[in-house]
Amino acid sequence: MRGPHDVGGLQDGPVDTEAHPLTFWEKQIDGLRAAVGAIGLVNTHENRAAVEALGHDAYNTLAYYERWTAALCRLLIDKGALTQDEIDARVALVRQRLAASGELESGMESP
């Protein structure tokens, strides 16, 4: 069975090869992934496997760094570094902060 990442030989539309500037949160997840890698908590192969294990729906719906975020959350929970409740609590705080600033509705990024 093909994984969601295995698209070799399948028909699809054109690939957008234009580089785009990373948003603040994309830089944050990239940095976080590098930090947990530097201390040996998660390695590149585990991260790749976790992204591929997201399944077709999530893999095809989420953007690149959203997949990284979902995979890293799963790995950190599986390794006992964080709990789902801790992640949910932090997400709720961030949503409150963004809602209060108007950034949640506008989609603006913090510097």
Q: What is the mean pLDDT of residues 89-100?
A: 92
| pTM of the predicted structure, to 2 decimals | 0.76
CB 73 within 8 A of CB 36: no
**Distance in angstroms (rounded) separating the CA atoms of residues 94 and 97:** 5
Residue-range domain boundaries for the chain: 24-104
Whether 68 shows a pLDDT value over 60: the answer reads yes
Residue range 24-104, CATH number:
1.10.472.20
**Distance in angstroms (rounded) separating the CA atoms of residues 5 and 41:** 24
The three-state (H, E, C) secondary structure of the chain, written as one string: CCCCCCCCCCCCCCCCCCCCCCCHHHHHHHHHHHHHHHCCCCCHHHHHHHHHCCCHHHHHHCCHHHHHHHHHHHHHHHCCCCCHHHHHHHHHHHHHHHHHHCHHHHCCCCC
Whether 83 shows a pLDDT value over 70: the answer reads yes
What percent of the chain clears pLDDT 70, i.e. is strictly above it? 85
